[in-house]
Amino acid sequence: MQRLIMTCVLIIGFVSPCLCLRSMVGTKNTFYNVMDFGAHGNGKSDDSHAFSSAWQHTCGTQGTSTLVIPPKGVFLVTNITLKGPCKARSLDPLILISNLNGLTIDGSGGQIDGFGSTWWKCRSCLRPRVISFVSCNDLTVRKLSISNSPRAHITIDGCNGAIFSNINIHAPRNSPNTDGFDIAFSKNILIEDCTIATGDDCIAINGGSSYINATGIACGPGHGISIGSLGKHNAHETVEEIYVYNCSFTKTTNGARIKTVPGGTGYAKRITFEKIKLIQTRNPIILDQFYHSVHLTVTYRGFQGTSANDKAINLDCGPSGCFNIVLDQIDIVSSDTSKPAHCSCNNAHGTTTSTVPNCSCLLK
């Protein structure tokens, strides 16, 4: 018998995809607490019926409704299904976990389907994320499968100390903005041994983030692992101490990408992509650096495989240039033998060692 034990404050706001084109029906938020439907929260009694009943009321209520799982309880549930479509409508995200220390989520055998296909066709809609972790410390999430989010699958915001392992994320390659992980204003985050297939970045590391480690990530399809975009709306944003190791990019739009936008300021420093396997990756190494004032240090080491684009390495820097770029032990060939791989540089400065294709355009 499959069991799920919850030991956290978990507030779930459910959204009905079929209402994404309609206006909000009122502003009152109705709360349904599982304890009011007979849950015990003692870790021994089966609370499945209470959860199902609370969900039926949450899902069947017009307007905004919230299913509440209170703190300090251990809830044992077995083989329950929380199913829509619902009359209820709430704002993003579907599941919010916030302000917790030392939380462990073990999703062994569990699966979350965001049913995003009804949302994707409405690109102007406020499409919800599936799970958001906000201001959590010493967090552990493992063995969880998430598919078809309306927008990003997992967001990490303002967290310090988290390990995400053995996470399986899947959405079609044409699903819009369905990042696997979106990280912002967080530090000491480890994402390891995950399989991510999406319509956008497998992992996006945004401003205010530091000491982020992504190890053993199988990415594809998707847009690769990205730093940024940084500097939107003339913002000052910083990212540092990023380590991406032993990852693969299979038929992705990008591989290792750093992207900043004109008008922004800040820095992206001590960033390393190492031991990267490429399988028909369209843009294996791509750097778009247009900060007005920026400090950049990035190392690309141990890349091997094929590029689906003849421009295998693209280092495109703004008028002020970018410096401290290291290319080391790079071996990228074109998957189309009629179009040999090459390197393109614009105002880029750094060093190369054992790099194929040759990057003689990189300035000293």
Catalytic residues: 200, 223
CA dihedral of 234, 235, 238, 243, whole degrees rounded to 10: -70
Can you give the chain as a three-state secondary structure string? CCEEEECCCEEEECCCHHHCCCCCCCCCEEEEEHHHHCCCCEEEEECHHHHHHHHHHHHHCCEEEEEEECCCCEEEEECCCCCCCCCECCCCCCEEEECCECCEEECCCCEEECCCHHHHCCCCCCCCCCEEEECCEEEEEEEEEEECCCCCCEEEECCEEEEEEEEEEECCCCCCCCCCEEEECCEEEEEEEEEEECCCCCEEECCCEEEEEEEEEEECCCCCEEEEEECHHHCEEEEEEEEEEEEEEECCCEEEEEEECCCCEEEEEEEEEEEEEEEEECEEEEEEECCCEEEEEEEEEEEEEEECCCEEEEEEECCCCEEEEEEEEEEEEECCCCCCCEEEEECEEEEEEEEECCCCCCEC
